[in-house]
Amino acid sequence: MAGLTLRNVHKSFGKVKVIHGIDMEVENGEFIVIVGPSGCGKSTLLRMIAGLENVSDGDVLIDNLKVNDKEPMDRNIAMVFQNYALYPHMSVFNNMAYGLKIAGLPKSEIAERVRQGAMMLELDGLLDRKPRELSGGQRQRVAMGRAIVRQPAVFLFDEPLSNLDAKLRIQMRLEIKSLQQRLGTTSLFVTHDQIEAMTLADRMVVMNEGVAEQIGSPLDVFQKPETIFAAEFIGSPAMNIIKAISDGQSVKLENGTILKSLTQFNGEIWAGLRPEDLIPDKKGKIIMQIKMVEPIGASTILHGTLKNSDTQIVSMVQGLFNPRDRQPEMSFSISPEAIHLFNRDTGKRIDN
């Protein structure tokens, strides 16, 4: 196992800056998920750690050793890619063993490592097959097995589940998390899927346009998002963001609705209301003019606008609503503790 440190890491392609100073300490055995939309720089950051991209400025340290100038093969890392990157003409055994052969390990040690890895991933009956004879999930296991047998200091996963169907993604998520816990290897996992991030991470890095908006545990990020971007990106459906004014005791939404608040801040703000925190209440002050009802099983998502406003608002309520029985409007209440406030100018969280 090894720790990983990023010190003010920057990346530029010519005059275009894509990573704007990332600082992070990853503890031994920690599972970090880097999450963000396409083009935010998360894969570029992973590739810099792997040595596949040069660091424009700053330092990358693995086990307290600076590795900026080291080749990928000398960094003691193993990477699992989105497209599996298996050799089609090689058997499962040879795909898993190839890196060890290049490293010059004895045949007996190679065979033992591959055997152990195959048993761990339930591939021991497939070692003679070629990749074309495997399902997508089995190919992903082979790619993981090739990484595992190297016994690296750090695992790097670059959106390894994005090519799998929904059911298989859930299964592979559980397998990756269980495997990482058993091996205790420091791991970084890149994804654009917030559910993967929430379920896999010990801590997550929420990235936006090359900036780490927030680093923290999944619950910390969900319960206390530090920026509007983090608030809207983590959570499904996304948090409602509404223009408002705070007087130090209450929050007045843009349509005139006044809600109790715990903040002492005075001035223009953004009020963040999570859809699941909006509780149907005939006496509630938040009135939604309903445009669409979206049943999703045990819950129903209601889409509409804030009354006397063009602002879109979403609520998620328990129970199954028949879309044909849609009401023109509904009233909701919300606990003062559940109202998130953000500075109108900076987008940063305002604490109570």
Terminal C-alpha separation, the chain: 40
* Residue 91: CATH number of its domain: 3.40.50.300
Q: Is 44 left (phi over 0), alpha (psi -120 to 50) or beta?
A: alpha
Which of 173, 198, 230 corresponds to the end of one domain?
230
Are 177 and 35 members of one domain? yes
Which of 230, 260, 278 corresponds to the end of one domain?
230
Please report, for residues 41, 190, 219, 350, the alpha-carbon distance to residue 347 in angstroms, rounded to integers and kept in the order given: 21, 25, 20, 9
Please report, for residues 198, 199, 235, the alpha-carbon distance to residue 219 in angstroms, rounded to integers and kept in the order given: 8, 10, 11
Are 22 and 154 members of one domain? yes
Are 249 and 225 members of one domain? no
Q: Is residue 133 part of a domain?
A: yes
How many domains is the chain partitioned into structurally?
2
Are 34 and 99 members of one domain? yes
pLDDT score at 122: 86
Q: Which domain holds residue 32?
A: 4-230
Are 24 and 138 members of one domain? yes
Q: Is residue 350 part of a domain?
A: no
pLDDT of 150-163, one tens digit each? Answer: 989 999 999 988 87
Query: Strand pairing partners for 284?
Result: none
Local confidence band at 218 (pLDDT 50, 70, 90 cut-offs):
very high
pLDDT of 161-207, one tens digit each? Answer: 887 888 888 888 888 898 899 889 999 999 999 999 999 999 999 99
Which of 199, 230, 261 corresponds to the end of one domain?
230
Structure tokens given for 55 = 């660091």
Q: Is residue 96 part of a domain?
A: yes
Are 208 and 261 members of one domain? no
Q: Is residue 351 part of a domain?
A: no
Are 78 and 217 members of one domain? yes
pTM to 2 decimal places: 0.90
Are 305 and 247 members of one domain? yes
Q: Is residue 235 part of a domain?
A: no
**Span 42-53, mean pLDDT?**
95
Are 28 and 83 members of one domain? yes
Are 120 and 39 members of one domain? yes
Residue type, 272: G
Are 293 and 326 members of one domain? yes
Q: Is residue 330 part of a domain?
A: yes
Cβ atoms < 10 Å from Cβ of 192: 19
Q: Is residue 157 part of a domain?
A: yes
Q: Is residue 105 part of a domain?
A: yes
pLDDT of 99-141, one tens digit each? Answer: 899 889 999 999 999 999 999 888 989 999 999 999 888 898 8
Are 202 and 220 members of one domain? yes
